Structure 1
């Protein structure tokens, strides 16, 4: 019996061929018209050819940057005409600029949310989680994690345009989100705790000391987000890869020590992060405009990234 061709693999090869930078070239490489190529590919992967190529090459660029490649080299290797265009796309995808990519630590490369489980695998191959054909769902945890970081960055960019007195203005006297965090009465305070919560929980998961609070001006918070964001994503990804959502964390930083199920910790951080982001957004709407920071809808965020 003749071996059947792996048509999906052929389509993927055509999309990721270094010389196929346009839809027409991809289709020609798979001996199909652009229309039929796109339809076959989207049916098999749940993602457009151009969208998958762009995402996988960004994942590869992140891995390359972590290994010491310059931003310029990574930009052109990923098929971008300008470093600026690459920087914008990378920042939208990972929640921090290319220059803030942390060094590789021996872990697998960082992956972006994907409908099909198809990702970059170093040095030059693909990794497919499970069977991509027929999947039409997206992992909501991954989407919420990435949306949280990118939305926080958007709010910080908007807050940076406020005068200092408006940034620190007491807008809700006595407002408390969580009793152990203290008052969160200003944009500055809420944004600080939005980032601080991830810093503290990462310390608990890693068994490290409670980190110093750090400055809360927009520039400092942006730098803190660029540092903690990749670590937060990597930590959650490792929990997921080992199936550790039900593991118990004994947090010695609490007095007395407390135990927490890891899945509940991630849900806790995402829940209160969403609340804090929307509180800041409401205040920024009153200071600036609704168009400046939008409504924080993950549907719109995902649509804009497509």
Structure 2
């Protein structure tokens, strides 16, 4: 691997880490690309090539993953969870949640109570793959 490719990968990882840290804040591609010191168009192409999804879709997936935890583990309303994870509207949250998870936030909450397993196992089970892989079985 060339030095240039390694540097680009480091920049992309820095940008992805920034998304993970600030998922609940208003983020757009130019702001994330600035973290990587790359133009927005080039950043989007490289991010998609390396991680297999667009930066926007990655951000949405991270927000939905966090909302899944909040819906399972807290009594907060769906609307409160929606805004807590960074979505601007309940409609976009519900639509995105259904696209990624396969059911509405309310249905997810009804079918998934608090999980009583070690945190590392929870993270592995509920991590959403952009390829829609089935969750790990705990049995």
TM-score of the superposed pair, with normalisation by structure 1? 0.35
Q: Which residue of 1 aligns with 2:114?
A: 104
What is the aligned counterpart of 1:70 among 36, 52, 77?
77
In structure 2, the gaps of 5 or more residues are 1-5
Q: Which residue of 1 aligns with 2:48?
A: 42
Larger Rg: 1
Are the counterparts in 2 of residues 41 and 48 from structure 1 also a CA contact under 8 Å? yes
Q: CA RMSD in A?
A: 2.5
Number of aligned residues: 120
Are 2:16 and 1:12 aligned?
A: yes
Are 2:34 and 1:28 aligned?
A: yes
Q: Which has the higher strand share?
A: 1
Offset, 1:52: 0.8
Q: Which has the higher helix share?
A: 2
In structure 1, the gaps of 5 or more residues are 115-137, 143-232, 243-306
Residue by residue, what CA displacement relative to the aligned partner does 1:69-106 show, whole Å, maximum 9, x if unpaired?
Answer: 32122101222222232122212222222122222213
Q: For residues 74 and 98 of structure 1, what CA distance do their matches in structure 2 show?
A: 10
SS of 2:87 mapped into structure 1: coil
Greater relative contact order: 1 or 2 (C-alpha under 8 angstroms, separation 6 or more)?
Answer: 2
Q: 1:90 to 1:21 in 2, by over 3 A?
A: same
Are the counterparts in 1 of residues 11 and 36 from structure 2 also a CA contact under 8 Å? no
Q: For residues 43 and 73 of structure 1, what CA distance do their matches in structure 2 show?
A: 34
Are the counterparts in 2 of residues 15 and 50 from structure 1 also a CA contact under 8 Å? no
TM-score of the superposed pair, with normalisation by structure 2? 0.71
What is the aligned counterpart of 1:82 among 89, 95, 99?
89
Residue by residue, what CA displacement relative to the aligned partner does 1:203-226 show, whole Å, maximum 9, x if unpaired?
Answer: xxxxxxxxxxxxxxxxxxxxxxxx
Q: For residues 17 and 35 of structure 1, what CA distance do their matches in structure 2 show?
A: 22
